[in-house]
Amino acid sequence: MGEKIDVHGLLGEQVKLVEEFVQFLRQKAKRREKEVKGKEEVTFASWPLEVKGQLKRSEIYDYL
């Protein structure tokens, strides 16, 4: 992916701005890669409740 960006005709300050923006995008991409690598699927414990029928939320959390 060695594409070039043509900055012909731009002022030096504008070229510097383009360089800084490209650096910013590269850093942002690296952070996203780290976030994706760092995420793991969370597995919650489960057990059979041996409940017949359906429980309502109020019945489950009534003791709170």
Residue-number span of the structural domain to which 17 is assigned: 12-60
How many angstroms separate the Cα of 52 from the Cα of each of 30, 58, 61? 50, 17, 18
Q: Is residue 6 part of a domain?
A: no
- Global pTM? 0.49
pLDDT tens, residue by residue, 15-55: 999 999 999 999 998 888 776 666 667 777 776 767 777 77
Query: In total, how many domains does the chain have?
Result: 1
Question: Residue 59: which pLDDT band, with cuts at 50, 70 and 90?
Answer: confident
Phi and psi at residue 13, in whole multiples of 5°?
A: -65, -40
Residue-level pLDDT at 39? 65
Q: Is residue 7 part of a domain?
A: no
pLDDT tens, residue by residue, 1-10: 678 888 899 9
Residue-level pLDDT at 38? 60
Residue-level pLDDT at 3? 82
Give the whole-angstrom CA distance, residue 3 versus residue 5.
7
DSSP labels, 3-25: -----TT--HHHHHHHHHHHHHH
Q: Is residue 5 part of a domain?
A: no
